[in-house]
Structure 1
Amino acid sequence: MQRKLFFSGRFDGYSMQSFYKDLLSGLVIGVIAIPLGMAFAIASGVKPEYGIYTTIIAGILIALFGGSKFQIGGPTGAFIPILFGVVMTYGYENLLIAGFLAGIILLLMGIFRLGSLIKFIPKPVTIGFTSGIAVIIFVGQIANFLGLSGVKKHETFYANMKEIIMHIHTINFFSVFTAGVCLVTVILTPKLVPKVPGPLIGLLFSTVVASIFYPNQVATIGSTFGDIPNTLPHFQFPEITFERILELIRPAFVIAILGGIESLLSAVVADGMTNSKHNSNRELVGQGIANMVTPLFGGIPATGAIARTATNIKNGAVSPVSGIIHGIIVLLILFLFAPYASSIPLASMAPILMVVAWNMSERHVFCHLLKTKTTDSLVLVVTFLLTVFVNLTVAVEVGLLLAIIIFTKQMSDSLITAKALPNLNNKNEKVDSKMVTEAHDCPQICIVNVEGPLFFGAAQTFEQTIMNTINYKPKVLIVRMGKVPFMDTTGESYFSSIVKDFSKTGIVLISGMKHQPKSVLRKTKLYHAIGEDHFFEHTGDAINVALVNLNKDKCLGCKHFAFKECSVLSGTPNTAEEKREILTTTS
């Protein structure tokens, strides 16, 4: 039963040949993950070993409990700005608490099956903050690339740029050369030897060059952060108080949302590459468990890594075992080679992150959305600029709010309310709004077509339009609602106001109402207030009832002939010539 709960379908038909494929893939990904884990940790404002701890623990747990067979979890570039901001504002200890809270949020999202809601975050928002994050990461590595000294790290983009400009005279050409060697190696390795991990080769090659030709001339991990221990830290539960929860809930929420988005995007990429199907809710549960456990060992927040997951698949992975092996490989390398990592130049880490930033920038999609010159372009630019110049938390909140406001405005504009009459030229006498003119409009029966969602954004306009339409006080109001797919309680409230006001002097009939709006009316008791016998499937039936309830005296002498029965009701024989003239006028 437990096996079905966590591992159903992911290990069916597993064999030694499958294990061999996972072993090779896990080995490659483990080697790739080491320099990335350290680089992401350093860029996030914490010691490099914390990135390694995250790679080990989160990588194994996400593979075990996640919803994708191929997902590789660990620290990612997307987290850098938000984690750096938390470290600068609250400190490393509170970063662990924020990560733990984010894990709880992700776990609850998975338990309450909110995985599908991530897809409702608009693309301009995700592209905007992703591109903004890429800019922050790239610019954040300029100081290490140039080997600038005396540069202080700040939370804001502007302050960091100012620091770089103020200290540009301290450029270290040994660092520039080291970074250049690593950058060229990272770029050329995939083209020359596709199976070999470029970041690792670039890191090793540039480190060897710096150590042999100009030792002690560039800043290293050891000289900046101290030696990297070759053991895992002890388990330690953070001191969580109610005050700290209130203080850290906003960054925790952003970490959770960002982690959920990236992990599910990564799972979707994996689905496309393997023709498989991930479980989004279980993926969020796995991400939640990983982010709750990792801080207990000093690790930083983690999520699904798109590039590493894709590489995992390309190297032949067939199950989550490859993700587990990748974590074990990193653990073994930590035990065996951690002391040697201290001699890695910071200038060698910079180009690795710059390449990551370039690859994650979504520049082509960004330019495409910008060229559309639509409201999406506005959301994109606002989210991007706020990410770069303010912070990711504000960018996501404002971007989502702006997208919601624009969407609400567009939906409210899509609601159409117009008077209509039967087209007597049509053999089915189809009700058409184009038939209404000053010379062809029933004084006693008002038929109104309503098309579009009747919700809070459109409800007031709907009410005003209807009330202006019936200000001449007809006897019967027929509301055609066959094209109203949705109604909320605000829409119901305004609709109720129309019904109650009109019912004082006339009769309200409803035709074609869909299940959802009718369900809302039942729950608010408006359905029973209107009367079940006033609801009709077809407008023709509603018109028949309306004709029965007319004031026949007012029909006498009427020349509008809006309905086929009008010639009899008006007491005026409607000749073929008169009828043809009226219908020609209304066409």
Structure 2
Amino acid sequence: MQLTYGLHARNLKGDFFGGVTAAIVALPLALAFGVSSGAGAIAGIYGAVFVGLFSALFGGTPSQVSGPTGPMTVVMAGVFTHYAALDPDTGPAMAFTVVMLGGFFQVLFGVFRLGQFITLMPFPVISGFMTGIGTIIILLQLPPFLGAEAIVGVVDVVTSVPDMILNASIPALVLGGTTLLIVYATPRSIEKWLPAPLIALFVGTLLSLYFFQSVDVIGVIPTGLPSLHWPVVNLDLAQDMLISALMLATLGSIDSLLTSLVADNLTRTQHRSERELVGQGIGNMVAGLFGGLPGAGATMRTVVNIRAGGKTPLSGMTHALILFIIVLGAGDFASHIPLAVLAGILIKVGIDIIDWRFLRRVHKAPIFVMALMTSVWGLTVFVDLITAVAVGVFIANIYTVKRLSDTQVESLRIIQDNPDDHQFLDAVESQYLQDAQGRVLLYQLNGPVSYASAKGISNKLVGCKSHEVLVLDFSNVPHIDVSTALALEEVIMDASLASQEVMMSGANTMVSHILDRMSVAALVEEKNRFNSREAALRAARDQILEAESFPLSALPD
């Protein structure tokens, strides 16, 4: 594996401007995410630096810019708060150990080529948990926006809303409202040169310094080189840490690969999913080692980078290095940033994450889709992401399997002596069935037959007219699975118990392989296995007529 993908110096100007622009956009977000997570503003900056640098260097999406994102920060906030509450001394170190473990899992996802499966998630589930994440971000930012003390739990925030509104701080509301006004009202012509969140950050901080000194601010931010956070594992919490790490890895992988798809559409290129996961994993492992937030591919920063001319990993690396230079000397200014301003910026982020495009038409969607999306949304907000995604994917898959089963069972054809059914046969095959006078039943399987229709395979024969020969036709079946093979075994054994002859026709190499491995083909005599349906029907007809001593020479070939 090469160390980089698409790294070259033929686009230095575009990559430099793309990296600078992305860094300007990333700065206020990194500070806000750091404060929101509970780990501190500097953790957000370090996350943007290390995830941004190493995911660009080792990743598989050349123009992608990575760093802390809303979804990842929501999970990290829960992780950090959880372990800090369990053990104030080693809790933060365990939280960053979880970040490292999450990065390690992402590397494994890439090594085992799981990237192609991670994004195969039903759209209502993705919509539900993204909308849920946006809702969580908005709710958790209400306390600082209203000038109240920070509240960790979503339920606690919801129950405290009336009191927070009644006791709202006017200065905090003014700063938060001004921030929202700026991020929404800044003309696009200005945003091309100076991102609205950065304008809001400067304006809000200046307002607080001159008019609202009483509002809560970030406070002292460490400057200088980051210190190492060596892994700390509490064996009693090992399982809990692994689950948290897996949650971060899964969410980070989904977030990154979806952003990679956006980058592909803008640049007309094709990312490499496995390499991207490896790069993201390395970035998160290094971020955790230096006390940074976990990150993923950031859609807004990636789009800004591409529009500013960034095309290669140099742009993402430039973005990270500029942020590192800023943090070395901008700590004094950043310490005066009001929490209400950061809350306003993050509320805008939360609003943008919500899937408004789907919500606007959700009432037109089928009831199942609407129920699935809202269920995942509710579970994300009031339970946790892993439960929400797991339940959503499980329900969606069960529903899909049921529909697939119905479709596959409907495609199965029972053809006997009804002339209307003979439209699926050629003239010769139809004649053979007519000669058999309803005593041969053709069971025609069609399309890929999976476990979804295994139960329906045997049920399809219930109520069929009596017959003496059963022909199982696989001519239109590209493959079957083990469940289908075992269902066919039941059909063959039932036919044998009813003293019916069983024949098979048209099984290709893949189908024959499964039937042989599961010892199903052995239940059918060698002489009753045919390459074509026509040969099987002719043999079935001949067997019926021979039993009656009918002169076969009198029949046409």
- TM-score w.r.t. the length of structure 2 is 0.90
Contact 2:132/2:378 (<8 A) preserved: yes
Partners in 2 of 1:240 and 1:143 — Cα distance?
A: 33
The structure-2 alpha-carbon separation of the partners of 1:94 and 1:486, relative to structure 1 and needing over 3 Å to count, comes to farther
Partners in 1 of 2:428 and 2:358 — Cα distance?
A: 45
> How many residues align structurally?
540
Match of 1:185 in 2: 182
SS of the residue 2:461 aligns to: helix
1:48 matched to 2:41? The reply is yes
Letter in 1 for 2:524: I
Q: 1:451 aligns with which of 427, 446, 454?
A: 446
1:521 matched to 2:515? The reply is yes
SS of the residue 2:29 aligns to: helix
1:194 matched to 2:191? The reply is yes
Larger radius of gyration: 1
Partners in 2 of 1:40 and 1:430 — Cα distance?
A: 73
Match of 1:162 in 2: 159
SS of the residue 1:193 aligns to: helix
Letter in 2 for 1:520: I
How much has 1:44 moved relative to structure 2? Answer: 2.1
Which stretch of structure 1 is more off in the superposition, 453-462 or 275-284? Answer: 453-462
Match of 2:111 in 1: 111
Deviation digits for residues 101-160 of structure 1, max 9, x if unmatched?
Answer: 211111111001111112321111111100111111112212222212xx45233x2221
Partners in 2 of 1:202 and 1:567 — Cα distance?
A: 95
Match of 1:576 in 2: none
Letter in 2 for 1:174: P
Deviation digits for residues 332-371 of structure 1, max 9, x if unmatched?
Answer: 1011111211100011111111111121212112333442
The structure-2 alpha-carbon separation of the partners of 1:532 and 1:289, relative to structure 1 and needing over 3 Å to count, comes to farther
Letter in 2 for 1:448: Y
How much has 1:403 moved relative to structure 2? Answer: 1.0
Contact 1:467/1:498 (<8 A) preserved: no
Partners in 1 of 2:351 and 2:423 — Cα distance?
A: 64
Match of 1:345 in 2: 338
Which stretch of structure 1 is more off in the superposition, 305-314 or 419-428? Answer: 419-428
Stretches of structure 2 lacking an aligned partner (at least 5 in a row)? 85-91
Contact 2:475/2:532 (<8 A) preserved: no
Deviation digits for residues 278-326 of structure 1, max 9, x if unmatched?
Answer: 1000001111111112111111211110111011001101210011111
Partners in 2 of 1:483 and 1:46 — Cα distance?
A: 60
How much has 1:186 moved relative to structure 2? Answer: 1.6
Q: 2:218 aligns with which of 199, 217, 221?
A: 221
How much has 1:99 moved relative to structure 2? Answer: 1.5
Match of 2:506 in 1: 512
Identity across the alignment (%):
30
SS of the residue 1:480 aligns to: strand
Q: 1:469 aligns with which of 464, 473, 491?
A: 464
The structure-2 alpha-carbon separation of the partners of 1:62 and 1:431, relative to structure 1 and needing over 3 Å to count, comes to farther
1:235 matched to 2:228? The reply is yes
Match of 1:247 in 2: 240
How much has 1:250 moved relative to structure 2? Answer: 2.0
Deviation digits for residues 145-202 of structure 1, max 9, x if unmatched?
Answer: 2212xx45233x2221112223322211111111122222222334241321111111
Aligned positions of 1:240-279 closer than 5 A: 240-279=233-272
How much has 1:390 moved relative to structure 2? Answer: 1.7
Partners in 2 of 1:426 and 1:381 — Cα distance?
A: 44
Q: 1:59 aligns with which of 36, 52, 72?
A: 52
Deviation digits for residues 515-552 of structure 1, max 9, x if unmatched?
Answer: 44333113223234435553434321110111122254
Partners in 2 of 1:440 and 1:139 — Cα distance?
A: 75
Letter in 2 for 1:203: L
SS of the residue 1:20 aligns to: helix
How much has 1:257 moved relative to structure 2? Answer: 1.2
Aligned positions of 1:96-495 closer than 5 A: 96-148=96-148, 151-155=149-153, 157-195=154-192, 196-215=194-213, 217-222=214-219, 227-414=220-407, 415-416=409-410, 417-421=412-416, 428-429=426-427, 442-466=437-461, 468-469=463-464, 472=466, 474-495=467-488
How much has 1:454 moved relative to structure 2? Answer: 3.4
How much has 1:513 moved relative to structure 2? Answer: 3.0
The structure-2 alpha-carbon separation of the partners of 1:512 and 1:294, relative to structure 1 and needing over 3 Å to count, comes to same
How much has 1:453 moved relative to structure 2? Answer: 4.4
1:76 matched to 2:73? The reply is no
How much has 1:458 moved relative to structure 2? Answer: 2.3
Deviation digits for residues 256-279 of structure 1, max 9, x if unmatched?
Answer: 111111101111100100111110
SS of the residue 2:191 aligns to: coil
Q: What is the root-mean-square deviation in Å for CA atoms of aligned residues?
A: 2.6
The structure-2 alpha-carbon separation of the partners of 1:431 and 1:169, relative to structure 1 and needing over 3 Å to count, comes to farther
Which stretch of structure 1 is more off in the superposition, 529-538 or 79-88? Answer: 529-538
Q: 1:543 aligns with which of 537, 540, 543?
A: 537
Which stretch of structure 1 is more off in the superposition, 350-359 or 512-521? Answer: 512-521
Which stretch of structure 1 is more off in the superposition, 24-33 or 122-131? Answer: 24-33
Deviation digits for residues 370-419 of structure 1, max 9, x if unmatched?
Answer: 42115333321211111122221210111111111111111111123331
Match of 1:89 in 2: 82
Deviation digits for residues 73-123 of structure 1, max 9, x if unmatched?
Answer: 110001233222222322333321222221111111100111111232111
Letter in 1 for 2:272: N
Contact 1:54/1:75 (<8 A) preserved: yes
Contact 1:22/1:317 (<8 A) preserved: yes
Higher relative contact order structure (alpha carbons within 8 Å, sequence separation ≥ 6): 2
Letter in 1 for 2:444: N
The structure-2 alpha-carbon separation of the partners of 1:159 and 1:479, relative to structure 1 and needing over 3 Å to count, comes to same
Partners in 1 of 2:289 and 2:41 — Cα distance?
A: 17
The structure-2 alpha-carbon separation of the partners of 1:392 and 1:265, relative to structure 1 and needing over 3 Å to count, comes to same
The structure-2 alpha-carbon separation of the partners of 1:516 and 1:85, relative to structure 1 and needing over 3 Å to count, comes to farther
Aligned positions of 1:14-33 closer than 5 A: 14-15=9-10, 18-33=11-26
Which stretch of structure 1 is more off in the superposition, 33-42 or 187-196? Answer: 187-196
The structure-2 alpha-carbon separation of the partners of 1:497 and 1:320, relative to structure 1 and needing over 3 Å to count, comes to same
Contact 1:152/1:163 (<8 A) preserved: no
The structure-2 alpha-carbon separation of the partners of 1:443 and 1:426, relative to structure 1 and needing over 3 Å to count, comes to closer
Partners in 2 of 1:314 and 1:299 — Cα distance?
A: 28
Contact 1:125/1:400 (<8 A) preserved: yes
How much has 1:464 moved relative to structure 2? Answer: 2.7
The structure-2 alpha-carbon separation of the partners of 1:482 and 1:160, relative to structure 1 and needing over 3 Å to count, comes to farther
Contact 2:27/2:323 (<8 A) preserved: yes
Letter in 2 for 1:21: G
Partners in 2 of 1:526 and 1:214 — Cα distance?
A: 81
Contact 1:74/1:304 (<8 A) preserved: yes
Partners in 2 of 1:482 and 1:80 — Cα distance?
A: 54
- TM-score w.r.t. the length of structure 1 is 0.86
Match of 1:497 in 2: 490
Partners in 1 of 2:392 and 2:422 — Cα distance?
A: 51
